[in-house]
Amino acid sequence: MLSSNPMEKKVQNAWAFYDWANSVYSLVISTAVFPIYFNSVTSVNDQPIHYELLGMSVPNTTLYSYSLSLSFVLVAIISPFLSGIADHTGKKKRFMQFFCYLGATSCSLLYFFDGSNIWFGLLMSVLASVGFWGSLVFYNAFLPEVASPDQQDALSAKGFSLGYIGASLLLIVNLLMIQMPDTFGFNGAGDASRFSFLLVGIWWAGFAQVSFRRLPDNVYQRVSDERYIWKGFHELRAVWMELKGQLSLRRFLYSFFFFSIGVQTVILLAGLFGDVELGLDSSKLITTILIIQFVGIAGSHLFSFFSRKYGNLQSLKICIVLWALICFGAYTLTKDDPSVELKFYIIGAVVGLVMGGIQAISRSTYSKLLPEETHSHASYFSFYDVTEKVSIVLGTAIYGLLIDLTGSMKMSVLALSLFFVIGFLLILWVPKTRYVR
């Protein structure tokens, strides 16, 4: 249950509203419009263009997968260091704002990407990804500061629900523009797609002001000095040493690492799978993604209820099993199956059900496992973030490598199911705590 105190409730709503602001990036840029647009402007007669990368000829989809991996490497390198500084200085909100504006500006600049300037497009894509994931480190770190452990499942679920709703609304507008460009004054679907990237940046930065206005700054009244960079490093080192003694937290991160490989790679590359492997047109892919979003609203609250009734770990186990079955189901799909479209929609609905659930419950579970006496929330959440980012780097790299080796995405999808199996086995070893069972 969320807080009934009016002032606390306003802060909690403001925190959750950042999901409304930033989720348009993860839906429009990461999942729905940009991957399809990227593939269309880097292909000729439905055949991928190859580009030179470090002396190798790399197809467009592999290049895109590798660029995503690069963005997550960058976040994994810088976020722990910056989080230590943020905890020492008490300036989490400042860092969150910086990454938010970096991401929003980069999304807007994708308006100028038309396929002839692929390296510019990839650069803006990488910076947008860094901005999005970088801001989430500091955003997630606010959760234990604005909600008590018994409120965190519900608040985390509320954030994801708002994100699904807001992102879906903007995607519907974008879809209408892309399907009916003449009605909106565009020369074609490509121009409408590029304008949608501009809208994402405006939406993200604009609605984020609601969160920035109400989120507390420097909750623990920390005072920085001229040695804040060095002391920020020591803050991070201290958290690392504490983490070694937190058995439940450490084992949860092991499991989280493996099932995140599957979850995030599916979210990032599902659109390309449907486009390239199954030959579904953009309208059907975006319809599937909308199904995922709206079912995800129910899924996040459903698993919040499961967590309250049966415990966080049990809820996560259910999610992980369903994710493994999803990957195997996607592997069985073939382009020449007359019912492939319907099957893709069904799989999309199941993805929606568990996507919101596993993300919301993972975030709140980690928050509940933090030491009650700690004030270093950004530093702790940076390890959560690095675990997720390294998993995405590995997932997207393996996905791209298997495409290169097999010429198909089917083996890539099948490989992801194995990571869910490992994640399930590892979560069995997470000890229960006062708040997590």
CATH at residue 74: 1.20.1250.20
| Domain assignment present for 436 | no
d(CA 336, CA 110): 35
| Domain assignment present for 151 | yes
| Domain assignment present for 4 | no
| Domain assignment present for 50 | yes
| Domain assignment present for 48 | yes
Query: Tokens standing for 404?
Result: 């290169």
Counting the structural domains of the chain, the total is: 1
Give DSSP secondary structure letters for 200-231: HHHHHHHHHHHHHHHS-S-TT-----TTHHHH
| Domain assignment present for 47 | yes
| Domain assignment present for 361 | yes
Closest to 428 (Cα-Cα) out of 265, 248, 242:
248
d(CA 385, CA 388): 5
Contact yes or no for 425/83 (Cβ under 8 A): no
The pLDDT tens digits along the chain (437 residues) read 555 566 688 999 999 999 999 999 988 898 778 988 888 888 877 676 777 766 667 778 778 878 877 888 888 888 777 777 776 677 889 989 999 999 999 999 999 999 889 999 999 999 999 999 889 888 988 888 888 888 888 898 899 899 989 999 999 999 899 989 999 999 999 999 999 999 999 999 999 999 999 998 765 555 555 555 555 566 667 777 877 778 888 899 999 999 998 888 887 677 667 877 777 877 777 778 788 888 888 888 888 888 888 888 999 999 999 999 999 998 888 888 888 888 888 988 898 889 878 888 898 898 888 887 766 677 787 788 888 888 888 887 787 778 777 777 788 888 889 999 999 999 999 888 876 77
| Domain assignment present for 348 | yes
What pTM was computed for the model? 0.80
d(CA 169, CA 164): 9
In DSSP terms, 44 is beta-bridged to 47
Q: Which residues contact 244 (CB under 8 A, 6 or more apart)?
A: 250
For residue 38, the enclosing domain spans 9-427
d(CA 162, CA 160): 5
A 10 A CB-CB count for 429 gives: 12
